[in-house]
Chain A
Amino acid sequence: GAGVSQSPSNKVTEKGKDVELRCDPISGHTALYWYRQSLGQGLEFLIYFQGNSAPDKSGLPSDRFSAERTGGSVSTLTIQRTQQEDSAVYLCASEIAGGVETQYFGPGTRLLVL
């Protein structure tokens, strides 16, 4: 399909392990966002990529979190040494730069850290 895709859909891991979450944005969208949604909470901004500019990492909660975007398309969010409080839904969204404020969200990755 033409929408934002994320993988895996669900991830169960043990405390202390590293995880990688993947986002495939809509083709041609230069802006990409990662959000975290904890149970009963709104969306918490994590990181923002815009074209070839340096990413805005101001929302990353700790240095265990990092993200990269290769070739201006696919993005990977990595969480090292996972903790139980990292359990959440991780959502990716993409947007046309300078567009009409329309972010298209993927279905999310549900992460459970045991």
Chain B
Amino acid sequence: GQQLNQSPQSMFIQEGEDVSMNCTSSSIFNTWLWYKQEPGEGPVLLIALYKAGELTSNGRLTAQFGITRKDSFLNISASIPSDVGIYFCAGRNSGGGADGLTFGKGTHLIIQP
């Protein structure tokens, strides 16, 4: 099946630093999604990307849909303690349903005050 490689696996940063994480795929996706999961909770959608080359922001978060359709990155600027959590990328193909919905293994973000 399709594989998503998400990196880094974990990040230890100081409060106020910028963060960058990315996902690459061996195959094309039509949609890229970024989720955040906090302890004891389910993932929450942060940003959805629908077009190759699209750059979308949500507050301090910015994500881009790679032009090749095989990659995406997420940046967090000026990190704060509540940014701590696990960030997942997910790729999806048109038609909805379960086909093409693939998750990366997550990036654990730890922020030191």
Contacts and interface: CB of A to CB of B under 8 A. Distances in A.
18 contacts: A31-B96, A31-B97, A42-B88, A44-B103, A45-B102, A47-B98, A48-B97, A56-B97, A93-B42, A95-B96, A97-B96, A100-B48, A101-B48, A101-B50, A104-B45, A105-B43, A106-B42, A108-B40
Contact of B104 (A42, A45, A47, A58): A42
A105 B33 contact: no
Contacts of A80: none
Interface string B88-99: 101010001111
A41 B98 contact: no
Contacts of A108: 40-42
Interface in B62-98: 88, 90, 92, 96-98
Interface residues of A, number: 30
Interface of B: 4, 6, 31, 33, 40-45, 48, 50, 88, 90, 92, 96-99, 101-106
Contacts of B41: 105, 107-108
A105 B103 contact: no
- Top 9 A-B pairs ranked by shortest CB distance? A105-B42, A48-B98, A42-B103, A42-B105, A43-B103, A56-B98, A105-B43, A106-B42, A91-B42
A50 B97 CA distance: 8
Interface of A: 4, 31, 33, 40-45, 47-48, 50, 56, 58-59, 91, 93, 95, 97-108
